[in-house]
Chain A
């Protein structure tokens, strides 16, 4: 069952790639339709897991990654439907397929640490996943902006030029995605701090809670992410850092998130490694 959404994401990824290369509107519609079906199947899977563990499956890395993929897909579909712009699919689907593969192949056990049994925890994780999904979109929009910017600036109008939306459209979408992501990130981090303080009072001996400080890599990178995106938004509004600079910042921010989410999440023992 876990593999069904992944297979559908692969199908839809191929369709988006074919649509991008051949610009056949029929293939484009098929790509959207298959992604929609994939999102439905994924919703069903997450629903099943929720019924099984009695909460949204967020408390292990693979399930959190899977939920992240689901949110990313939904936010991409929202973006596609509201902007009628399909060309971004070919940049988003590789992330979707890649992360979903990781989630499917790595075994994940939902944690039952009593410390996690708090509404704050769910708000914390869900907000951060929403933030990461928005930043993933922003990062890809930033990447495409930079590629297209280079083509126009260097006066070599090639493959991407005829396919991508205008620079200003990419910039506007990027700005929106970053703003939404920043709001969720702020909520997620703030709630995390409040929840840690509350839990410390309840379970002062919990080793995870004792490790919660800026020295912890997971927390350090989360705060770094917040600093990067806060600066990006500040620079956009106050210093006129739009366009390529904003695109670059959104791409760097997303790179930090991926680093924090995957290598650190999987291989580094942190305050967030619950047993």
Chain B
């Protein structure tokens, strides 16, 4: 049984093609059922996000799977195959598992290390699982991918460090204050980044967000956006005394918060830390404010520098993440190979059992004279001999290092024991077109 993957992603297809092949806006469950119904194994998972549409199936014949999935995409989305076929990528077995593991780890994402994708992979599997469209192969594959995502998250710094100015500000706030609930936020001047940062802070459960602007209407609009409270421009100083986090983004040509302003309220602040995020250019906050004890002043360049540092740290973690992916690919492949030997092992066991029964049958005349207890012993002893003889070959066949060797061994076993109905388990993609005799199902 092969793992086969066919899909488009942001790396292979432009957005208009991805849009047309998107499943997420339609019923993904129905699509999974439609795909699964086409395969004897009945295993399929559809992973569809804004950056990718991928179909994973377990198939005996990857070449056929490819044709069928192209045909499926064509009929399901009503899109001529020639419009998307050149953008489609396919992966088989080890490559397919590596691809999924990299996706789950966030290595294949537009923003490397982003955490949402793991949840999307889990959802995709869940949709298929609730419709009973997954079997042992894809279940194992996807469960392993969840583990890879988790390992990469906990063992590497791939997902660490904010990579947008807004999130960098939130991460800093958390590093200063710990939990942000009940922290007061003051937004001075309405702008896109200040609004975004305030929204991130709101999502972290901060206390009151006070918004002020020279134009009262702007303050009210932003306050409504972030469920905050608009306050008059004249109240800026007193609001400064109550705030823990200040975001400034006015168009003022001169600083609007001076060292004297902050020092003036420091008595009321009783030494509480004050985190000021100055997004405005030219700056809204005097640089000297940053010299005050317990004031942490970050301007837009400082935050950009943090983001850059985080990005370079993330890329330095890619190697470690890839190493984890490789380990898990190897483990999954070993498991899949051990399954590849299963039909041969089953046939071999059946053959041995068949011989044993035939011999017992042949000696029926002589054994007939034995007491029931003695007959049971003969039966048990012969069975045990078979078991012992099969023990080592079974273990060896399951543990073969690669598919070429496995083919050679299963072929040899098939010939040696005349397992007529058995065929070697085919391996690499290039041999897919070779005509294969029917394989019995185990």
Bound CA–CA A153/B172 (angstroms): 11
Given A167-B273, A241-B271, A245-B293: A152 touches B176 (CB 8 Å cut-off): yes
Given A22-B155, A240-B271: A161 touches B175 (CB 8 Å cut-off): yes
B157 is an interface residue with CB less than 8 A from chain A: yes
Contact residues in B for A52 (Cβ distance below 8 Å): none
> Using a CB-CB cutoff of 8 Å, which residues 136-192 of chain A contact chain B?
148, 152-153, 155, 157, 161-162, 165-169
Tell me how many residue pairs across A and B have CB atoms closer than 8 Å: 58
Q: Which of B174, B178, B270, B309 interacts with A157 by CB under 8 Å?
A: B309
B302 is an interface residue with CB less than 8 A from chain A: yes
Q: How far is the CB of B336 from chain A (nearest CB, A)?
A: 27
B19 is an interface residue with CB less than 8 A from chain A: no
Bound CA–CA A24/B160 (angstroms): 14
B293-320 near A? 1/0 per residue, CB < 8 Å: 1101010001001100100000000000
A211-251 near B? 1/0 per residue, CB < 8 Å: 00000000000000000000000000001111111000000
Given A162-B160, A240-B271, A245-B293: A167 touches B302 (CB 8 Å cut-off): no
Given A157-B306, A244-B294, A245-B293: A24 touches B161 (CB 8 Å cut-off): no
Bound CA–CA A224/B293 (angstroms): 27
Whether A240 pairs with B175 at a CB distance below 8 angstroms is no
B177 is an interface residue with CB less than 8 A from chain A: yes
Question: How many of chain B's residues have a CB under 8 angstroms from any CB in A?
Answer: 25
Whether A155 pairs with B271 at a CB distance below 8 angstroms is no
Contact residues in B for A153 (Cβ distance below 8 Å): 290, 296
Whether A166 pairs with B174 at a CB distance below 8 angstroms is yes
Whether A166 pairs with B155 at a CB distance below 8 angstroms is no
B208 is an interface residue with CB less than 8 A from chain A: no
Contact residues in A for B270 (Cβ distance below 8 Å): 240, 242
Whether A152 pairs with B174 at a CB distance below 8 angstroms is no
Question: How many of chain A's residues have a CB under 8 angstroms from any CB in B?
Answer: 23
A98 is an interface residue with CB less than 8 A from chain B: no
Given A152-B172, A166-B176: A24 touches B296 (CB 8 Å cut-off): no
A25 is an interface residue with CB less than 8 A from chain B: yes
Q: Which of B157, B273, B305 interacts with A155 by CB under 8 Å?
A: B305
Contact residues in B for A168 (Cβ distance below 8 Å): 176-178, 273
Whether A152 pairs with B296 at a CB distance below 8 angstroms is yes
Bound CA–CA A60/B310 (angstroms): 52
B259-272 near A? 1/0 per residue, CB < 8 Å: 00000000001111
Given A155-B298, A167-B176: A162 touches B161 (CB 8 Å cut-off): yes
Nearest chain-B residue to A235 (Cβ)? B271
Bound CA–CA A161/B161 (angstroms): 10
Whether A243 pairs with B296 at a CB distance below 8 angstroms is no
Bound CA–CA A203/B160 (angstroms): 67
A42-65 near B? 1/0 per residue, CB < 8 Å: 000000000000000000000000
B154 is an interface residue with CB less than 8 A from chain A: yes
Contact residues in A for B172 (Cβ distance below 8 Å): 152, 157
Q: Which of B154, B157, B271, B290 interacts with A162 by CB under 8 Å?
A: B157
Whether A244 pairs with B296 at a CB distance below 8 angstroms is no
Q: How far is the CB of A249 from chain B (nearest CB, A)?
A: 13
Contact residues in A for B272 (Cβ distance below 8 Å): 240, 242
Q: How far is the CB of A214 from chain B (nearest CB, A)?
A: 33
Contact residues in B for A244 (Cβ distance below 8 Å): 293-294
Q: How far is the CB of A96 from chain B (nearest CB, A)?
A: 26
Q: Which of A22, A157, A169, A242 interacts with B271 by CB under 8 Å?
A: A242
Nearest chain-B residue to A236 (Cβ)? B271
Bound CA–CA A188/B118 (angstroms): 56
Bound CA–CA A153/B273 (angstroms): 11
Contact residues in A for B302 (Cβ distance below 8 Å): 155
Contact residues in A for B157 (Cβ distance below 8 Å): 162
Bound CA–CA A166/B183 (angstroms): 14
Nearest chain-A residue to B168 (Cβ)? A157
Whether A167 pairs with B154 at a CB distance below 8 angstroms is no
Bound CA–CA A243/B293 (angstroms): 9
Whether A243 pairs with B298 at a CB distance below 8 angstroms is no
Q: How far is the CB of A161 from chain B (nearest CB, A)?
A: 7
Whether A166 pairs with B175 at a CB distance below 8 angstroms is yes
Bound CA–CA A92/B305 (angstroms): 33
Q: Which of B155, B175, B271, B309 interacts with A24 by CB under 8 Å?
A: B155
Bound CA–CA A171/B89 (angstroms): 54
Bound CA–CA A245/B176 (angstroms): 16
Nearest chain-B residue to A241 (Cβ)? B271
Contact residues in A for B175 (Cβ distance below 8 Å): 148, 152, 161, 166-167
Bound CA–CA A24/B409 (angstroms): 41
Max chain A Cβ within 10 angstroms of own Cβ: one of B293, B298, B302: B293
Q: How far is the CB of A142 from chain B (nearest CB, A)?
A: 15
Contact residues in B for A165 (Cβ distance below 8 Å): 178
Whether B273 pairs with A243 at a CB distance below 8 angstroms is yes
Whether A169 pairs with B296 at a CB distance below 8 angstroms is no
User: What are 30 residue pairs bridging A and B, where the CB atoms are less than 8 Å apart in the complex?
Assistant: A23-B154, A24-B154, A25-B154, A148-B175, A152-B172, A152-B175, A152-B176, A153-B296, A155-B298, A155-B302, A155-B306, A157-B172, A161-B175, A166-B174, A166-B175, A167-B177, A167-B178, A168-B177, A168-B178, A169-B178, A240-B270, A240-B271, A240-B272, A241-B271, A242-B270, A242-B272, A242-B294, A244-B294, A245-B271, A245-B293
A-B contact sample (19 more), CB < 8 A, given A153-B290, A242-B270:
A23-B155, A24-B154, A152-B296, A155-B305, A155-B306, A157-B172, A162-B157, A165-B178, A166-B174, A166-B176, A167-B176, A168-B178, A168-B273, A240-B269, A240-B272, A242-B294, A243-B271, A243-B294, A245-B293
Partner-B contacts on A (CB < 8 A): 22-25, 148, 152-153, 155, 157, 161-162, 165-169, 239-245
Closest 5 CB pairs of A and B: A240-B271, A166-B178, A240-B270, A242-B271, A169-B178
